[in-house]
Amino acid sequence: MGPDAQVPTPRGVQSLHFPDAELLPGLVNCHTHLELTHLGGQNAEPEFAPWIRRVRELKENTPHPQFLESAATGLRQCWRAGVTCIADTGSTGAVMEALHDLGGRGIVYQEVFGPDPAKCAASMQELDAAVLQLRRLATAQLLVGVSPHAPYTVSAPLYKAVAEYARRERLPVAVHLAESKEETQFVRDGAGPFAEALRLRGIIVEARHLSPVQYVVKQGVIGRGTLCIHCVQVDQDDVQALAERGATIAHCPRSNAVHRHGRASLKVFHEEGIPVGLGTDSVVSVGELDLWAEAAASGFTGDDAVRMLTIEGARALGWESEIGSLTRGKAADLAVIAVGPTGRQAVLTAIAGRIVHRAGSPQAR
Ligand SMILES: [Zn+2]
C-alpha cells in the first residue's frame, strides 16, 4: 500500500498501470435484490401496495433458472460499477449461488414471509431449510443472514420466532422497515391497503398503536447490527430506539423517491451515531443500479460520496475491519474507476485480491 515508488514489485508479480483512473476501495451496496434483475422496467404500478403485489406475481411466474441468470447478471453489473460487496435480500437462494460460483463478497439475507400467525411454524420450517442450504456455500467473505420481510408480510409471532432463531444461529438480520406511509397506517391503525388485502385473505389485522419501528423493536427483532432498510417514516424516538439497540441503516433515496415515500432524515441518523450505508434497492424500483446516483441523491459529493459508498457502507454491514478502505491488513477489495462518457465505470475490480472484472474482458474470473 502506498505511492508507486515506495511499493516493491516482487519478481513474478503482475504490475498494472492505470494513468487515467483512480484507485478506490471497492464500493459497498447495502441493499440489493439481484435475483430480480430480469424484472427491471416490468412493474409500472404507481401505488406501493399493488406494486409489491405485482412483484410477487412476477416472481411467481419466474422459473428458477431465470433467477440464477438474473443474480449472475446483476452481480457482474455490480462489479462493472466497482461494487465489491453487496447486502442482498432475496428468497430464491440464487444470489448466494452466484456469489459463490463467481467469487463475490456479500451478505445474503434469506427472506421469510408469513402474515398469517397460524402459519408461523411452516414459515420457520421453510426458513430453516433454506438457511441450511445457503450455509453450505458460506465462507469468510460470503455470509448468510435472515430477513423477516416487512411488517405487512410478517406476523408478530413470526417476527419473534425469526429473531430468536437468528440469535440462536448467530445470523445477521435485515428488515425492510418504516418504508411507506401505508406501512405506518397498517401497523398503527390496522388500516389502509395492506390491511385490506390481508383481511380479504381472512387474516386478522390488529391496530398496534405503535410506529413500525416501535412495533418491530417490541417483537425483539432489532439488535446489534440489525440492518434496517429505508427508515423513512420515523420520528426522533424511533431513531433513538434504533441507536440504543445498535441497529444500522441502509438508506435508499432513489427507491424512496420513485415510490413517493419521502426522504429519510440522514442528519438525524448521523446525530444519533447510527452507521448508515447507501443501497440501490432493486432494478424494479430504480432501473439501473447506480450507487453514485444514490450518493448524489443524498447530497454527497467528492470525498464524502466515496466515504459513504465505502467505509460507511462497510460499517453499516459490520464489516469495517475487513473492507471499506485501502488499509494494510484489510482485504484487497479494490476498484479502479475511470470517468467515461457514460459516467463512472470500473476499469478493474478485485475482491480479496482476485480480479473479478476487467474492462474489455466481461468473462474475467
Ligand atoms: Zn428492498
Q: How far is the CA of 4 from the centre of ligand 1 (A)?
A: 41
Q: How far is the CA of 267 from the centre of ligand 1 (A)?
A: 22
Task: Concatenate the DSSP letters of all residues of 227-265 into one string.
Answer: EEEE--S--HHHHHHHHHTT-EEEE-HHHHHHTT-----
Q: Select from 340, 344, 314 the least CA-distant residue to 80.
A: 344
User: Which run of H or E residues covers position 146?
Assistant: strand 142-148
pTM of the model: 0.95
Q: How far is the CA of 1 from the centre of ligand 1 (A)?
A: 36
Distances (CA, A) of 341 to 23, 86, 152, 209: 19, 26, 43, 51
Q: How far is the CA of 33 from the centre of ligand 1 (A)?
A: 7
Residue 8 contacts by C-beta under 8 Å, 6 or more apart in sequence? Answer: none
Residue 51 contacts by C-beta under 8 Å, 6 or more apart in sequence? Answer: 43, 45, 259
Q: How far is the CA of 173 from the centre of ligand 1 (A)?
A: 14
> What percent of the chain is predicted at pLDDT more than 90?
85
Give the Cα-Cα-Cα angle 306, 228, 310 (nearest 5 degrees).
Answer: 15
User: Please, are residues 112 and 166 in contact by the beta-carbon 8 Å criterion?
Assistant: no
Q: How far is the CA of 282 from the centre of ligand 1 (A)?
A: 6
Q: How far is the CA of 244 from the centre of ligand 1 (A)?
A: 24
Q: How far is the CA of 157 from the centre of ligand 1 (A)?
A: 22
Rounded-to-5 percentages of helix, strand, coil across the chain: 40, 20, 40
Q: How far is the CA of 253 from the centre of ligand 1 (A)?
A: 12
Q: What is the pLDDT of residues 164-212, one digit of tens each?
A: 999 999 999 999 999 999 999 999 999 999 999 999 999 999 999 999 9
Q: How far apart are CA 186 and CA 212, in angstroms?
A: 9
Q: How far is the CA of 284 from the centre of ligand 1 (A)?
A: 10
Query: Average pLDDT in the 270-275 region?
Result: 97
pLDDT of residue 189: 98
pLDDT at 9 over 90: no
Average pLDDT across the chain, whole number: 94
C-alpha cell at 33: 435484490
Q: What is the pLDDT of residues 125-151, one digit of tens each?
A: 999 999 999 999 999 999 999 999 999
Q: How far is the CA of 229 from the centre of ligand 1 (A)?
A: 7
Q: What is the pLDDT of residues 227-242, one digit of tens each?
A: 999 999 999 999 999 9
Q: How far is the CA of 52 from the centre of ligand 1 (A)?
A: 10
Q: How far is the CA of 89 from the centre of ligand 1 (A)?
A: 7
Instruction: Give, as one character, the DSSP assignment of residue 36.
Output: G
Q: How far is the CA of 325 from the centre of ligand 1 (A)?
A: 26
Q: How far is the CA of 327 from the centre of ligand 1 (A)?
A: 31
Q: How far is the CA of 90 from the centre of ligand 1 (A)?
A: 9
